């Protein structure tokens, strides 16, 4: 699928704009351990990357055989925010890539708005997207449902077939494909991510420096 002269570039946040996924998953694994369930990082990446928090909690509770504590989600959110303050960095090359992109851009993420603005602010990316950040929590549609991407396109006046989505998760790619959008899968050089995404996205790329050229392809 090609998309000549895209009307809108839609970015996921975690793992695409900000190098946040391992930080967030580490917090989730640690908080789950406090509840009594042991989860390896490999398992966490496979089971929880790109998955909305409600479904993460549901899976943890399934493994536990009981409900987690009432403050579990709030504790995860708070600990993640603190970890971001200490460790969060932008994905390598994203600032230069955004500077080279001439089409309109936006963010569409399964994360809550407070997390998105916090992460983008910490990494000096907020200015690229201010006023064009879409959270599944505000739209009421989570990837892999296409509703979040369709809402972003409609709000910004772009036809789905003229949108390009930049994603690193299977759920996000499935959402974009269901929305009728071209999808570029970002691997960050991770062979496991490459293997997971290769069969489902329109193009794969490994470095953000390659993105502007991919967007100009017809």
Residue 218 pLDDT exceeds 60: no
- pLDDT band for 4, please (50, 70, 90 cuts): low
Catalytic residue among 12, 14, 19, 202: 12
Share of the chain above pLDDT 90, in %: 88
| Nearest CA-CA partner of 21 in 65, 56, 66, 72 | 56
Q: Average pLDDT in the 48-63 region?
A: 94
> Domain map of the chain by residue range?
8-19+90-215, 21-87
Architecture of the domain spanning 8-19+90-215: 3-Layer(aba) Sandwich (3.40)
Query: What is the Cα–Cα distance from 213 to 159, expressed in whole angstroms?
Result: 22
| Nearest CA-CA partner of 23 in 96, 67, 77 | 77
Are 135 and 113 spatial neighbours (Cβ–Cβ below 8 Å)? yes
Q: What is the DSSP string of 153-172?
A: HHHTT--GGGEEEEE-SHHH
Predicted pLDDT at 199: 87
Tell me whether domains 8-19+90-215 and 21-87 share a fold.
no
Residue 2 pLDDT exceeds 60: no
Residue 1 pLDDT exceeds 70: no
Q: Average pLDDT in the 40-59 region?
A: 93
What rounded mean pLDDT belongs to the chain? 94
Q: Average pLDDT in the 30-36 region?
A: 97
Architecture of the domain spanning 21-87: Orthogonal Bundle (1.10)
Give the Å distances, CA to CA, from 43 to 16, 49, 181.
21, 10, 30
Annotated catalytic, 12?
A: yes
Q: Which of the two residues, 193 and 108, has the higher pLDDT score? A: 108
Predicted pLDDT at 192: 82
């Amino acid at each position: 699928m090609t998309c000549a002269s895209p009307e809108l570039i839609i970015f996921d946040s975690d793992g695409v704009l900000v190098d946040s996924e391992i930080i967030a998953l580490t917090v989730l694994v640690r908080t789950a351990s406090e509840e009594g369930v042991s989860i390896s990082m490999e398992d966490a990446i496979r089971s929880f990357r790109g998955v909305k928090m409600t479904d993460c909690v549901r899976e943890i509770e399934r493994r536990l055989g009981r409900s987690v504590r009432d403050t579990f989600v709030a504790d995860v959110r708070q600990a993640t925010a603190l970890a971001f303050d200490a460790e969060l960095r932008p994905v390598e090359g994203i600032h230069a890539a955004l500077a080279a992109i001439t089409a309109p851009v936006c963010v569409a993420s399964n994360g809550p708005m407070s997390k998105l603005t916090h992460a983008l602010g910490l990494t000096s990316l907020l200015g690229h997207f201010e006023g064009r950040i879409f959270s599944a929590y505000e739209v009421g549609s989570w990837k892999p449902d296409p509703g979040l991407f369709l809402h972003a396109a409609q709000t910004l006046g772009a036809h789905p077939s003229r949108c390009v989505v930049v994603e690193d998760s299977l759920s996000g790619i499935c959402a974009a494909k269901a929305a009728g959008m071209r999808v570029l899968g970002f691997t960050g050089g991770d062979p496991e991510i490459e293997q997971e995404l290769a069969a489902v996205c329109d193009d794969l790329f490994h470095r953000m420096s390659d993105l502007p050229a991919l967007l100009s392809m017809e």
